[in-house]
Chains A and B, each alone.
Chain A
């Protein structure tokens, strides 16, 4: 028991164990040893158990032939590829749906969040209904809804709905023409790169000019004109070097063209719409956190509503919005593992699913999968923190 004392013993006096610093060190060292011993025991015991049960361990299995097929692969993959390749294929599919989901969720979320604060009664109510419906239904149910209820209502390949005979919509997904670059197409890509760099430089110039003279230039319009116009001119001037492989109905399915799987669309829709409901609330709370005096000040300077929102309210709201958005992005990435419910070949379905089952290397595969999600999430956190540091209030 500690007794209140008016004077603590000075350091170096009295027995060592009564010294608070030493005592704290000893307690921490003992705790650390217990923890390390416990973890060591678990690892030792796991290896022992694996060996006594004749379960093979190690990462040698990654070199073995996978022998199964994956419907959507962003890199070359056949059933002759290795289990290691299935890891990469699954990872890329996870990243694809996560990236698509983050972009769409952000756009929808901002739109709905701002709409909820609109003075238009109907718009604000619709936004409220959106948020309350989609954030209160479990994500898995929403995924299954989009997959089974909506996409399955589409016709069979033979009765596909078509758009200009180029795009086809059916129960197998969307089929569209596949662009094949011919020699000379690289010029267009270079033009695009140059246009993007030029736009960025122009934006910096415009900003500096505005700072100096107070005159604003239409950066967005000019930028858009450069980014779209320059590559287009180069593309046409070089003789449109792009061949299109058109989808064609042969046998069971369309051959040629790009096929977007309905599993991807369903998962993407569900993830975006679900996460957007949360982002909308974050955006709303961010905007409400900006003092109303700021808006009034802008209005008294007769700034239009759009500019007030874009240049005054949102930049200040970002300080509140960004840290919470990071959590939502991380949630979206982790939620993408629900893909396995509808057969979208993501990391969990392919690698922690089929590969795990074919090889039986549960510990290695689950450890790798957990490590991947950890790395992705930490990377996203890091990038968002960088961005957050930039959006912090700069006092001048």
Chain B
């Protein structure tokens, strides 16, 4: 059983204490280097994004971002301590310094970016909120959901979007809010709700956890924009840059055709100047951020480029089997676009 409820108050208390006692720390990078590892906040278990496998090893697209940061900074993708957090705990954990990076399918919004003392470093997954219903209800559109009971995870943008959507369409609903996505799925599975709402990628993941995945379907409507990405504390620009460019390097590597398979060969004989700069053969792009110049080489070699990571966690090589869709690169019909390394 999952008992996360107490941890909220514990965490808040911890946050209060931490905020009260710690001096504002600017140099996260120095801490990470001297500790030889860094702390990454992930979800309590969401297939494809961050969930422990049967051996207790964390997997998922959000987890790979943390591994890539570890590879870039410490040269070893295993030097990450993962902290599972509920939606309600995540920001406090980051603010108080319990974790150094929050990579937990977190939607980038104005409030979170501007008033919580946090910075979003980019978008590793473009998502949108959808509805999951049982097929036997015979519902074909979200517009038919008037009066439904809806399970949702507490403390998410999902809660707000849903209230807005039903108000805008002049419909009523009854909300049942749970702490973790597992509890939410359980609530839906046991019939407490007619509908489960979340980001559509999460619905695809939760669907796999249900007793009978084929008995449900995801409605076609996407009622919100949900750009999900890693978050760091505000006020440490160096660390912000590192996490930001880690993601950019993964995207650039995919765009340049550098994969974990061919990265050694590419580094020895760079086919073009872009790849030479990416892999540290030319320039000192790593040193500019205070890390080694083979940072991007390490990321691609040890973790992979964005496309490889996507395919193996949520994409075609994973149980979820999501299409790239808008998460394809900008030159392949999507909107994933990274600034050049030069």
Contact = CB atoms under 8 A, between A and B. Distances in A.
Given A79-B167, A262-B192, A354-B154, A253 B116 contact: no
Nearest to B2: A341
Interface stretch (B39-47, B170-178, B258-266): B170-178
Given A53-B235, A171-B190, A69 B162 contact: yes
A252 B166 CA distance: 15
Interface in B66-98: 87-88, 91-92, 95
Nearest to A172: B149
A171 B192 contact: yes
Nearest to B163: A79
B8 A362 contact: no
B141 interface: no
Contact of B115 (A43, A56, A144): A56
B95 A70 contact: no
B147 interface: yes
Contacts of A54: 115, 117, 234-235
B233 interface: yes
Contacts of B174: 71, 172, 253, 259
A199 B3 CA distance: 49
Interface string A156-170: 100000000000000
B163 A252 contact: no
Interface in B157-193: 159-160, 162-164, 167, 173-179, 183, 186-187, 190-192
Interface in B104-150: 111-112, 115-117, 137, 145-149
Interface stretch (A8-16, A103-111, A215-223, A342-350): A342-350
A352 B179 CA distance: 12
Given A49-B23, A171-B191, A343-B178, A353 B8 contact: yes
B19 interface: yes
A248 to B, nearest CB: 11
A251 interface: yes
Given A251-B148, A341-B3, A354-B177, A366 B12 contact: yes
Interface in A330-360: 337-338, 340-343, 345, 348-349, 352-354, 356-360
| Chain A interface mostly | helix
B181 to A, nearest CB: 13
Interface residues of A, number: 55
Nearest to B166: A69
A303 B175 CA distance: 57
Interface in B213-263: 233-235
Contacts of A171: 190-192
Nearest to B144: A251
Contacts of A352: 8-9, 12
B183 to A, nearest CB: 8
B155 interface: yes
Contact of A343 (B148, B162, B187): B187
Contacts of B233: 53
A140 interface: yes
A356 to B, nearest CB: 7
A362 B179 contact: no
B211 interface: no
A50 B74 CA distance: 30
A5 interface: no
Given A46-B19, A53-B95, A67-B163, A152 B192 contact: yes
Given A253-B147, A358-B111, A341 B177 contact: no
Contacts of A43: 20
A253 B179 CA distance: 24
Given A67-B164, A156-B191, A343-B176, 12 more contacts: A45-B23, A53-B24, A69-B159, A140-B5, A148-B186, A348-B8, A352-B8, A357-B155, A358-B155, A359-B115, A362-B12, A363-B15
